[in-house]
Amino acid sequence: MEVKDDVVFKGEHLLPQQRVCLFMGRLMYSACAKDCGLGAYASIMAASISGYTFSSVCYHSANSSSDHEGFLLGEVRQEETLSISDSHIGSSEFLNVIEVHNHEPCAQLFSFYDYAGNVNEENLNRILKDRRKNVIGWYRFRRNTQQQMSFREQVIHKQLTHILGIPDLVFLLFSFISTANSSTHALEYVLFRPNKNRYNQRISLSIPNLGNTSQQEYKVSSVPNTSKNYASVIKEHGTEFFDKDGVMKDIRTIFQVYSALQERVQAVCCEVDQSERVREKIQEEVNKLKEEIALRKRNSAEEERRLQEAAAVTLPDNPALPDSSHSSLTQVMLSGPSVEPSLERPVNSSSPPIYSTTLLPDSPSAILLPRPQAVGSPGHPSPSLGLGNGDGSSSDSLNRQATGQEDQEEDDDEDSSEYENLVSEQLQLPSLTETVTLGRPATLWPDGDAHSPPGS
């Protein structure tokens, strides 16, 4: 049956009795719709996220060696439009608008849930603070996975829905894949409505932008007109728009708005810059402390072993113990090369920096940790070390084992392991600083002149 859109009403203008009729009509049509597939009751979903928020999520994800997740803050609006046809039976269209304003990134995985997917409300509140009321969904960034919610994610989602009291909580899934040679990467994103029925599971996510910035709308010529009346009227009354210099007043006014706004942007930008430097500095101090602590712990553990050994050797009953002190060291050293070396940035550029391997437990940003890549692709980034091929591709790295391997609870669903890339085990190792010792050490120097490499 065809419903003509002769008249379109917004819901709020209807009398109660009209609404009841329409509601009944909707129920009737809904029932019909399921049978005959007609969308008499149509729910249109529209979702949007600002380019800056989107980029910010990408940025945080890029800084994580594992999966990355967080919450989506924003607003959901519902608009009802009704159309009444000749037969006085209406069909209503609901336009649900989901606007993501910003995101609240989680510093690490498992910050508000455990391996079984149980959500901890206390932790949740600590993360969200007073932004809890603005939550409209959550998101997850994964590498090399399918565009489906994992089992654990579904479990978490149900609980979040319940705890936060948001019936239509959405889930935004980012999936990252790369070509084998890492020259091209794709970030796919899907917005899910897991709490809705099967038919409305995915929503298009748009990124509002400037659209058309072309200046084609300016008129370069006036419509030819010889009417003296026209000319005199528009001249006389048109002067209102212009100031004594012949410049349109509006132009000056709007430019002032823009200037003030840009000034504010600059000011806040300065504040952000300052906060970034402070944060950077403290992060560095924290990293140094951790290194120092780990070093001391290792040294004292070393000492203990030596003492134990010495004590053991002097006892005639005990057979000579294997040189455990060396083996533990070698163990630690062997694990070194399998992690990507980090690039040390010298404060003064006079000496060429040496590649060093630094393992820092809680700051993956300090090192270029390997990331799970598509099957057959090399780990990243593997500068030189004799592994590079001349044509620009990197060879397979040893790092795939260090990433994305799940070994959490055994009763976890197969799907979770497939989809999720959790924190690499490598991060649990004590910190270690050493020069990569694969054959000869790689040395790097900056090339000051693109045309003549030093030494050539």
Residue from 1, 4, 36, 63 touching other proteins (CB under 8 A): that is 63
Q: Which is nearer to other proteins, 28 or 107 (CB)?
A: 107
Distance, in Å, from the CA atom of 173 to the CA atom of 153, rounded to the nearest integer, reads 10
Interface with other proteins includes 395 (CB under 8 A)?
no
CB of 110 to other proteins, least distance (A): 17
Q: Of residues 247-266, which lie at the interface with other proteins (CB under 8 A)?
A: 247-248, 250-251, 254-255, 257-258, 261-262, 264-266
**φ/ψ bin of 387: left (φ > 0), alpha (ψ from -120 to 50), beta (otherwise):** alpha
Query: Does residue 62 touch other proteins according to CB under 8 A?
Result: yes
Question: Which of positions 189-218 make contact with other proteins (CB under 8 A)?
Answer: 189-191, 202-205, 207-215, 217-218
Q: Does 75 bind other proteins (CB under 8 A)?
A: no
Phi and psi at residue 398, to the nearest 5° = -90, 5
Site mask, other proteins, residues 154-193, x = CB under 8 A? Answer: -------------------------x-xxxxxxxxxxx--
The nearer residue to other proteins, 19 or 60, going by C-beta atoms, is 60
DSSP 8-class letter at 88? S
To other proteins, the closest distance from the beta carbon of 182 in angstroms equals: 4
What whole-number distance in Å separates Cα of residue 26 and Cα of residue 31? 8
Q: What distance in Å separates the CA atoms of residue 383 and residue 340, rounded to the nearest whole number?
A: 9
Work out how close the CB of 366 gets to other proteins at its nearest, in angstroms, rounded to a whole number: 8
CB 366 within 8 A of CB 343: no
Nearest to other proteins of 151, 189 (CB atom): 189
Among 352, 359, 340, 326, smallest CA distance to 438 is for: 340
Residue 261, amino acid? L
CA 138 to CA 210: how far, in whole Å? 26
Looking only at residues 411 through 430 of this chain, which bind other proteins when binding is defined by CB under 8 A?
none
**Count of residues that bind other proteins according to CB under 8 A:** 129
Stretch near other proteins under the rule CB under 8 A, chosen from 24-32, 51-59, 109-117, 323-331: 51-59
For the bound state, the minimum distance from the C-beta of residue 27 to other proteins, rounded and expressed in Å, comes to: 28
In sequence order, what are the beta bridge partners of 90? 84
* Site of tokens 């649900």: 96
Site for other proteins in 365-394 (CB under 8 A): 365, 368, 380-381, 383-386, 388-394
Quote the DSSP letter at residue 450: T
How far is the CA of 367 from the CAs of 69, 110, 433, in angstroms? 20, 22, 11
Helix ranges (H only) for 203-248 are 228-238
Between CA 287 and CA 293 the distance in angstroms is: 10
56, two tokens: 């910010």
Q: Cβ closer to other proteins: 28 or 261?
A: 261
Chain residues 269-288 in contact with other proteins, contact rule CB under 8 A: 269, 271-273, 275-280, 282-283, 285-286
Confirm or reject binding of residue 222 to other proteins (CB under 8 A). yes
Longest Cα–Cα distance in the chain: 123
Using CB under 8 A as the binding rule, the residues of this chain from 98 to 117 that contact other proteins are 101-102, 105, 107
Binding residues for other proteins restricted to 296-335, rule: CB under 8 A: 296-297, 300
